[in-house]
Structure 1
C-alpha cells in the first residue's frame, strides 16, 4: 500500500446517494459538504448536450431534460461488461459513469480541505470480485489512489463502535460486543453479524443482495399507479419515458411521506390526462411485503450461520436510507427481540466508517508522520480487523459420481475468516495426461456455469506414461487484501504452477488510462 501526498478520505459510493468523509484531528469522522452545502450527493449523472456533465442535478433540472441523457443507479451495473451509455460517440462504461460521481465528490471536498489523493471506497458486502475491481477502477479514473475497497456493513460497524468511543479504547470497553448491521440502501442490501472488542474487530457472517433496495419499493408504487392509470385511460404511462420519469419522482416522494404519514395522495400526469390515487401506509406495506420478506430471510440465514441468536445480540444497527420505513424497524424488533438502534445516521454511517478505515490504514503506514493527533493516532493503531469472504472460492473438477460432468468443488467456503489457506489432493482424469488445467471459480453453485470464472492456469509437460489417478495437490489462499493465490503440483513429477488474482477482470490498464484522460476532458458540475 502506497500513500500519495495529499488528503486521505473515505467515500460511500451509493446507488442513489454518495458521500465523502474524513477523520479530523480530534478523531471525529466528518462528512464534507458539496457545492450545495449538503453532505450527500445524488448518484445521478446528467450527460447534457454540448458536453455538459452534471452530477446530482436538481429534480427541477431533471424534469426538463431528455430522460435518455440521465443515468441513475449505475452501481447496479458495476462489473456488467454488456452495459454502456453512448455519449458524444463514446461508449461510457459503469466504471466511467461512477468515476464522474467520484470526481464531483472529490472536487467539492477539495474546496474544503485541499487536494485529495488517497481514498477508501465502500461496496456492498456481496459484491463479487468483478464488481470490486470495477469500483477500484472507477476511483482510479477519478484521479484517486484507492487504498482499499471496504464492505459497507464493515464500514458502518466501524463508525458505530468508533462513535460510541469503544474502538481503540480498552479503558472504555473491557469485554466484547456482538451486533447485527442491517443495511438497506437505495439499490443494495446487506446484513452482517460482527463481534468486536476495544482492539479487535471480527465479521462472523454476512449475506446480501446487490439487486434489492429502496428503488424496488418505489417501483412497486410506480407499477401500482401505472396500472390504475391504464385501467382508467387505456394507456400505459410506462411506455413514455418522460411520463415514467415523472411517475417515478412522484412515487419516490410518496414513499418518503409514508414514513411519517398514514396516507398520501399521488397525482400523476401523462399526455394531457391526470390521475390522483390515494395510498395508505398499509397498502404500501402489503404490496411490498415480499421485498421485506427477502431481507428477513437473509437476516435469519446470517444469524444462523454466525451461530448467534437474537437475544445474544447487544445491538441491532440500522443503516441505509430505506430503513426509515417503519415496517423495517417492526420486522427487526419482532425477529431479534431487540430494539433496533439508530445510533448511526442511516445515510452517513457508511461514509464515516470508510473515513475511519482510511485513517487506520494511514496510522499503520505513516505512523508518527501522520497529521492526526497523537491520542487519535494511538487509538487507531490499537485496532485490528478480521474480515470474511463473501463468496465461496473453488475449482472446477470432475464429478466423482459422473466423471463426464464438471462441478464446482468449494475449497474456501463463504464466511471464512481471512486470511485463509487450504490444500487438498485431487487426481488426474486419464492415462498419459500431458497437462492439468486449473480453473478458479467464485460462487456457491455446484454447476460451474452458475459461478464466475476469476482465473485459470496450467501445469504443462507432465512426465510420459503418467497413470490415471496420479495425485495433484491444489493450494488455495485468500489474503486480507482480497488477493487470491492458487497453486497446483503434480506430486509424481513435482511439476507445479500457480497464479495470483488481484482483481484482474474488467477494464485493462490501457482502458483505465484512456478513461482517466477522458474524465479530465469533462468539466463535471
Structure 2
C-alpha cells in the first residue's frame, strides 16, 4: 500500500485507503463502527489509546483519570506538559495515538502504512505543523503532504459520488462552501471548481468554538441548574476528577439529543459530602430545547462566521451552489435548521459520512496523487504602487522533504530617509489563478522592515529578499539590508491552495476565463485606510524615487542632475514647504496664495 489518508482530529482519528474504486475507512467495529477517540492514557508503563482510554476517563476511579490526556493535538507547540506529575512531550502523546491507529489498520488489512496524506485545520500554526510532522515520524509514519481539512472533505465528497463526472460538470464555475464544525475547530473554506481544478478562494477557522468547548458549556450549565434545584448543594466541593466524568456525559448527551428529545446525565458521587439528606449524585434530565438554549450563543457565533467569510470576498449565501456541512456538530438539529434557512434543501448537503469524509478525502487525494497547488499569486508591493509576483499561482507545493524555492530578489531602496525599508507581501483578495488585474483588491499577508543607511543615496542601499515554501506549507520570508546588515524574518501559514480533481482537469492556464465577480456586487478597497507606502524597487530606475527626495539629493550633487518626471515635479511641489510662511502644502493657515502673486506650489493629488 503506497499512501493512505489520515485524519488526525482533535476528538477522533481515522485512517482510510482506496482499493479499486472504493474508499474504505478503518473504523472500530467493536464500538459501533466509530473512529478512534484521540485520547491516550498512561498507566505506569502501559499506554492505552482510543475507546479504552476514553472509557477510563468516564468511569474509572482515582489514579487512572489523572493519567488520561484528551486531544493531545491541542498541546502541540509546547515543549512538555505534566500528566499526573510526570513531564511528557505532546509530540510523543500524538505519536502514541498515531501508532495505535496505524496498528489497528494494519490488523484489519496487512500492508505498508508508512506514508500518509494528513489533514490539518486551516488555522494551524507553523510550529504546531512542524510538531505534528515530527510526531508522525516518531510513530514511523512519513507525511507525504498536508491538506486542509475542509478541502479534503470537499474532495472526498465529490470524488465519492456515484455520478461523479456529471456532478463535476454541473458544478463547473460554481462556488462551494465547506462548513466543517468538529470537536476541536470550526473551519470554513470557499472554493470554486474550474475545469476540474478545485481551488480555495478564502479560508476561515477558529479553535474557540469547537465541539469540546460546547461540551464544557453544557457541563457548567448542567451543574448550575442541578444546584438551583437542590439549594443545599450550593458551595459543596466536587469530588476529584468528577468534572471529567461529567464532561464525558455531557458530550454523550449532546450526541444523543441529535436524534432524541431528552437525555439523562448521571454522575454518581459527583459532590463530596457526607451530610445526611444530601444526595452526592448529579442527575439531570436534559431536553433538546434546554440544550439549544444553553449553546444558542456559541451556535449563533459559529453560524455568523459564514456571513463573515462570504462578506470578506463580496459574496452572499445566494451565490453558493453547494454548502457541504461536515463534522459532529452539524448533526445538531438547530444547526441543520439554520443552514437550511441560509442555503435551502437543494444546495445544502449534510454529509452522511460526517466523521469519515475528511479521512476519505485524504485517501482519494493520496490515491489520485493529486498535487497541491498554490491558488493565488504571492506578490511583493513595490514603489509607485507596482507589484511583483514572487511566487506564481499554480506553483506545485512541496511534498515531504522538498522545498519550493522562489526567486531570490535583490531590491533597491528608493527612499532611505526614514532609515527603514518596508516590505509588504500580498495576495489577491478573491481572484485565484494568474488572471489578476492591478485594480483587484489585495489582502496583506505580512509586513517586514529592515534598517537601511538613511544617509545613503537613492537606489544605493540594497535589500535581499529570500522566499520559500517548505514541506509544511509554510511560507518562509527572510530580508536583509546589505549596508546596515539588518535582518527580519517571518513565516506565513494562512495560504490558499488547490487540487486537480480526479484527473479531470488541471491548473488554470493563461487564456482560461478569469474568475468573475457575481453580477450586481460592489467590491472595492475600504476607503479611509492607512496604506504603507513601499520604498523598494526591482530595478535601478530614478523615476521610482519620490520627487521631493530626488530634488534634495540633486541639490547636494548637481553633477548627477536628472530631469524630474511630471509626477516627481508634482511631488516636489506638494511636499516643499511654502517659501513665504514655511507651512506645509495646502495648509489652510497659509495665506501666501492671496493677492496677485498666488502660490504656485498648490498641487492636488487624486489619492
Question: How does the TM-score come out when normalised to structure 2?
Answer: 0.62
- How far 1:186 moved relative to its partner? 0.8
Looking at structure 2, the residues matched to 85 and 440 of structure 1 have their Cα atoms a distance apart, in angstroms, of 40
Partner of 1:158: 155
Contact 1:190 1:207 in 2 (8 A): yes
Contact 1:67 1:241 in 2 (8 A): no
* Aligned pair partner of 2:26 in 27, 32, 38: 32
Contact 1:315 1:338 in 2 (8 A): no
- How far 1:338 moved relative to its partner? 5.0
Partner of 1:147: 144
Partner of 1:182: 179
- Shift in alpha-carbon separation, 1:463–1:214, aligned structure 2, 3 A: closer
- Shift in alpha-carbon separation, 1:60–1:385, aligned structure 2, 3 A: closer
Superimposed CA distance per residue, residues 196-249 of structure 1 (whole angstroms, 9 cap, x where no aligned partner): 245211011110112321112211221012223444243567843421122112
Partner of 1:352: 360
Q: Quick one: higher RCO (CA 8 Å, sep 6+), 1 or 2?
A: 1
Contact 1:427 1:472 in 2 (8 A): no
Looking at structure 2, the residues matched to 285 and 266 of structure 1 have their Cα atoms a distance apart, in angstroms, of 16
- Shift in alpha-carbon separation, 1:348–1:502, aligned structure 2, 3 A: same
Looking at structure 1, the residues matched to 380 and 73 of structure 2 have their Cα atoms a distance apart, in angstroms, of 27
Looking at structure 1, the residues matched to 470 and 314 of structure 2 have their Cα atoms a distance apart, in angstroms, of 23
Looking at structure 1, the residues matched to 215 and 237 of structure 2 have their Cα atoms a distance apart, in angstroms, of 14
- Shift in alpha-carbon separation, 1:307–1:351, aligned structure 2, 3 A: same
- Shift in alpha-carbon separation, 1:145–1:69, aligned structure 2, 3 A: same
Mapping 1:86-105, distance limit 5 Å: 86=83, 89=86, 91-105=87-101
| Match status 1:329 vs 2:336 | yes
Looking at structure 1, the residues matched to 237 and 202 of structure 2 have their Cα atoms a distance apart, in angstroms, of 40
Mapping 1:366-515, distance limit 5 Å: 386=373, 419=395, 466=456, 472-473=462-463, 475=465, 477=467, 479=469, 482-488=473-479, 490=481
Looking at structure 2, the residues matched to 317 and 93 of structure 1 have their Cα atoms a distance apart, in angstroms, of 36
Partner of 1:73: 71
| Match status 1:116 vs 2:110 | no
Alignment partner of 1:314: what SS? strand
- How far 1:476 moved relative to its partner? 6.7
- Shift in alpha-carbon separation, 1:114–1:88, aligned structure 2, 3 A: farther
- How far 1:387 moved relative to its partner? 5.1
Superimposed CA distance per residue, residues 463-519 of structure 1 (whole angstroms, 9 cap, x where no aligned partner): 89636996555657564952424354658x79898989699xxxxxxxxxxxxxxxx
Partner of 1:300: 307
Contact 2:40 2:93 in 1 (8 A): yes
Alignment partner of 1:259: what SS? coil
Partner of 1:135: 132
- How far 1:305 moved relative to its partner? 2.8
Alignment partner of 2:355: what SS? coil
Looking at structure 1, the residues matched to 152 and 115 of structure 2 have their Cα atoms a distance apart, in angstroms, of 17
Structure 1: gaps (5+ residues): 1-5, 362-382, 396-410, 442-452, 504-525
- How far 1:384 moved relative to its partner? 6.1
Looking at structure 2, the residues matched to 250 and 479 of structure 1 have their Cα atoms a distance apart, in angstroms, of 44
| Match status 1:219 vs 2:204 | no
Looking at structure 1, the residues matched to 189 and 110 of structure 2 have their Cα atoms a distance apart, in angstroms, of 33
Contact 2:10 2:72 in 1 (8 A): yes
Looking at structure 1, the residues matched to 485 and 301 of structure 2 have their Cα atoms a distance apart, in angstroms, of 48
Alignment partner of 1:15: what SS? coil
| Match status 1:208 vs 2:216 | no
Mapping 1:57-68, distance limit 5 Å: 57=52, 60-62=55-57, 63-65=59-61, 66-68=64-66
Partner of 1:8: 3
Looking at structure 1, the residues matched to 167 and 425 of structure 2 have their Cα atoms a distance apart, in angstroms, of 46
Partner of 2:511: none
Contact 2:66 2:83 in 1 (8 A): no
- How far 1:86 moved relative to its partner? 4.3
Contact 2:126 2:491 in 1 (8 A): no
Alignment partner of 2:124: what SS? coil
Structure number with greater Rg is: 2
- How far 1:342 moved relative to its partner? 2.6
Bigger strand share: 1
Looking at structure 2, the residues matched to 266 and 470 of structure 1 have their Cα atoms a distance apart, in angstroms, of 73
Alignment partner of 1:179: what SS? strand
Superimposed CA distance per residue, residues 259-289 of structure 1 (whole angstroms, 9 cap, x where no aligned partner): 1222333333324612432322122112211
Superimposed CA distance per residue, residues 350-409 of structure 1 (whole angstroms, 9 cap, x where no aligned partner): 000111122233xxxxxxxxxxxxxxxxxxxxx6654559xx9999xxxxxxxxxxxxxx
Partner of 2:43: 48
* Aligned pair partner of 1:126 in 123, 127, 134: 123
Partner of 2:260: 261
In the comparison of the two structures, how many residue pairs are matched?
A: 440
Question: How does the TM-score come out when normalised to structure 1?
Answer: 0.71
Looking at structure 2, the residues matched to 236 and 125 of structure 1 have their Cα atoms a distance apart, in angstroms, of 42
